[in-house]
Amino acid sequence: MKNIYIDCYKQIYLQYAPMLLRFAEKFVSSFFAEDIVHDVFLKLWDKQIFLLPDNEIKNILYAAVRNACIDHIRRIKLEQKLSDQRTLQLKLDELDFLETSENLFMRKDMMEYIMKVVNELPEKKREIFRLSYIEGLKAAEIAEQLNLSVRTVENQLYRTLLILRKKLSFSFIYLFLYF
């Protein structure tokens, strides 16, 4: 009996997967489209959809892929919104502390201490931090130079600032960022 299920699902997969992939690729990248289509077939495995008429199978599959694409796009939108909020908050924090740390800009001993802490960071974090705050490169430029995604660079910068905040007072961080 189980072999009959497998044969039926294989036939349905071979018949509909290429069309569903092209459909999903209209809305999401081909990488995610393939995952979405495979996930839909996995979710429908226990539903015995092969017992339904062909037109209903087709409707169910297209609706499931459409809904999965919508969910994927919403998830990406939410992730981007959260990332944008974190970036904005970091910039606001930097601006707030810039005013209070003006007199620290001239103190060489503090700068040496900050550089010591920065040099203790893991190599990749240190490199991304250096490119951003010392060389003034944007996240996209750093990502291209280091062959990383922009999101990875932004996350590394965010995590690096969190590490520095724990090790240094806010005044020291902003001294380094704007010196």
Structure tokens at 69: 């694409």
Q: Is residue 26 part of a domain?
A: yes
Distance CA(60)–CA(38), nearest Å, equals 14
Tell me: do 67 and 114 sit in the same domain. Answer: no
Tell me: do 6 and 61 sit in the same domain. Answer: yes
156 CB burial (10 A radius; 0-12, 13-18, 19+): buried
Tell me: do 66 and 118 sit in the same domain. Answer: no
Q: Is residue 97 part of a domain?
A: no
Tell me: do 8 and 67 sit in the same domain. Answer: yes
Q: Which domain does 32 fall in, by range? A: 2-75
Count: domains in the chain = 2
- Asked whether 179 and 107 are in contact (CB, 8 A), the reply is no
Q: Is residue 81 part of a domain?
A: no
Which residues are CB-neighbours of 97 under 8 A, at least 6 positions away? 170, 171, 173, 174
pLDDT of residue 63: 92
pLDDT of residue 26: 93
Tell me: do 67 and 8 sit in the same domain. Answer: yes
Q: What is the CATH number of the domain that holds 149?
A: 1.10.10.10
Tell me: do 151 and 107 sit in the same domain. Answer: yes
Tell me: do 65 and 109 sit in the same domain. Answer: no
Tell me: do 25 and 70 sit in the same domain. Answer: yes
Q: Is residue 68 part of a domain?
A: yes
Q: Is residue 94 part of a domain?
A: no
Please give the model's pTM, rounded to 2 decimal places. Answer: 0.48
Low-confidence stretches of the chain (pLDDT beneath 70): 1-2, 50, 95-111, 169-179
Tell me: do 107 and 54 sit in the same domain. Answer: no
Tell me: do 9 and 70 sit in the same domain. Answer: yes
